[in-house]
Amino acid sequence: MQAEAIAKLQSEISGSDNPAVQAIGQFLLQHLEQNPEDASSILKTDKTIIKSLEAMRKVAEKKKVGNMAVLSDSEGFAIVLNYFKNEEPAATDPKKQKNQTAEASAKKDTAKQDTAKQTEPVKEDTTESEEVDFDFDALLE
């Protein structure tokens, strides 16, 4: 079983030029050497390295600040292992999914309103600032 899992990973690695697939694939190969009992998780037909990247992206999305998120190596690899070892949640009824999305949006809106109430308005600085005359055209010459 371990040999089959290694072959599956090597096939995915060689079939992709994505550096993330290469890095995660190498990590999983090393993990299998040390944990051969995890081969059955790797062999699941619906689990791929590319899909593990999507799982990682979803977690990073929750941690992002502004337009950026950072995961440490250990966090990223833990997400990948969790993806392979755990079953994905079953697909839900589209109506239920729509209601859950609406509820989540409502909670976010309420949280934003609460945060807005807590922040004090910004007071303008009434001190005079010294104007600096700067010749931008001189920089271009």
Cβ count near 76 (within 10 Å):
20
Q: Name 68's bridge partners.
A: 65
Q: What is the pTM (predicted TM-score) of this model?
A: 0.61
Percentage of residues in the chain with pLDDT exceeding 90? 60
Q: pLDDT at position 123, please?
A: 52
Residue 61, pLDDT > 90, answer yes
Which 8-state DSSP code applies to residue 65? B
Residue 128, pLDDT > 90, answer no
